[in-house]
Amino acid sequence: MDIYRHSSLSVHTVSVNRFRHQYYYFALIYSGLRWLFAGVAFLLFSSKIRQFIFQFSHLQHIPKTAYRNYFINGLPMAVCLGGESSLFFMLSFISKTIGDVSLSAYQASLHFISVIYMISIGVGNATGIVIARHYSLKNLHSLRGTYSEGMKLGLLILTPSLLACFFLKEHISIIYTSDALTRKLIEENILVSIPFLIFEYIYVVTRMTLRSMGDFWIPTLLTIFSLNILGLILSVSLLSFHDYSVRSLFVALVACSFFLMLLLLWRLGSILKTKDSKPMKH
């Protein structure tokens, strides 16, 4: 009996060590590839920017005040992204207290959602770049049109991913694990995340629009309040009084993202109403 127990323990130890080695190799390769592609992107950017530097070499050097303004205007975005990252980092600790299976399901679900999140980032940046030009010209009519077109285009691109979350959640979960319990949790999380992805897309595009209009700090503060404060309060409350499972974390994300979406839409509407009273260029 002792021999059998010792043999089982040895097999388990070997499998754990093998998993750790595979995990380390994966992390090393993944990090290396990210640095490689970041280096390639930097080289491409450097080669392109040199053309503009040589083309406009007769211009004066950029003053120090311009660098200071870049830092001041870029700080709210850095704080905002840092706040969102810290939220998901804290939720991972909360899911760990529920159990190792919940942590695995949370991380897998969050990874899949983050892939779809790239659609929001891409469309939001593209929309914000065009809106910045219209706003500088005080062309609010074109600004509204660009915001509406960007929102519709992004939702059209987002729709296949949302349908996959609903109809193909079983196939998505099996990509991450073959454990039946973990797969079930992942599928539940993905299903709950469908409205979250919609609300998240709308508030990301709206937030980028506000930043393109020179509104930097208010969207950041609204984001921190809605996600980091309200999101954590809802998460703890749902776990304590409703359902002690990782599903409650994603329900909380749905609620706080919906609240943030409403706040940012209100903010954009109030600014546009204020600007309407001023002369508008068509």
Q: Do 202 and 246 lie in a common domain?
A: yes
Distance CA(206)–CA(80), nearest Å, equals 14
Give the whole-number percent of the chain exceeding pLDDT 90: 54
Q: Do 92 and 50 lie in a common domain?
A: no
Q: Do 171 and 271 lie in a common domain?
A: yes
Q: Quick check: 9 pLDDT over 50?
A: no
Q: Do 52 and 157 lie in a common domain?
A: no
Residue 281 lies in a domain: no
Q: What pTM was estimated for this model as a whole?
A: 0.81
Residue 172 lies in a domain: yes
Residue 65 lies in a domain: no
Residue 66 lies in a domain: no
Residue 67 lies in a domain: no
Q: What is the mean pLDDT of residues 214-233?
A: 94
Q: Do 98 and 130 lie in a common domain?
A: yes
In the three-class reduction of DSSP (H, G, I as helix; E, B as strand; rest coil), residue 202 is classed as helix
**Distance of alpha carbon 235 from the chain centroid:** 18
Give pLDDT, residue 51: 67
Residue 70 — pLDDT band, cuts 50, 70, 90?
Answer: confident
Q: Do 78 and 43 lie in a common domain?
A: no
Q: Quick check: 282 pLDDT over 70?
A: no
Q: Quick check: 62 pLDDT over 90?
A: no
Residue 2 lies in a domain: yes
Q: Do 51 and 162 lie in a common domain?
A: no
Q: Do 43 and 172 lie in a common domain?
A: no
* Length, in residues, of the chain: 282
- Sign of the alpha-carbon dihedral angle for 221, 223, 224, 226: positive
Mean pLDDT of the chain: 85
Give pLDDT, residue 14: 47
Distances (CA, A) of 94 to 7, 90, 146, 224, 236: 36, 6, 40, 18, 9
Q: What is the mean pLDDT of residues 257-265?
A: 97
Q: Do 156 and 49 lie in a common domain?
A: no
Q: Do 164 and 229 lie in a common domain?
A: yes
249: exposed, middle or buried (Cβ count in 10 Å: 0-12, 13-18, 19+): buried
Give pLDDT, residue 59: 53
Residue 167 contacts residue 125 (beta carbons within 8 Å):
no
Q: Quick check: 63 pLDDT over 90?
A: no
In the three-class reduction of DSSP (H, G, I as helix; E, B as strand; rest coil), residue 277 is classed as coil
Q: Do 23 and 157 lie in a common domain?
A: no
Give pLDDT, residue 275: 80
State how many domains the chain has: 2
Query: Backbone phi, then psi, for 281, in 5-degree steps?
Result: -95, 130
Residue 7 — pLDDT band, cuts 50, 70, 90?
Answer: low
Q: Which of 73-87, 206-220, 222-236 has the lowest mean pLDDT?
A: 73-87
Q: State which of 17, 34, 59 marks the end of a domain.
A: 59
Residues spanned by the domain of 186: 73-276
pLDDT in tens, 94-128: 988 898 888 889 999 998 999 999 999 999 999 99
Residue 64 lies in a domain: no
Which range scores top for mean pLDDT: 28-42, 171-185, 189-203? Answer: 189-203
Residue 118 lies in a domain: yes
Residue 12 — pLDDT band, cuts 50, 70, 90?
Answer: very low
pLDDT in tens, 129-170: 999 999 999 899 999 999 999 999 999 999 999 999 999 999
String of DSSP letters for 210-259: HHHTT--HHHHHHHIIIIIIIHHHHHHHHHHHT--STHHHHHHHHHHHHH
Q: Do 32 and 133 lie in a common domain?
A: no
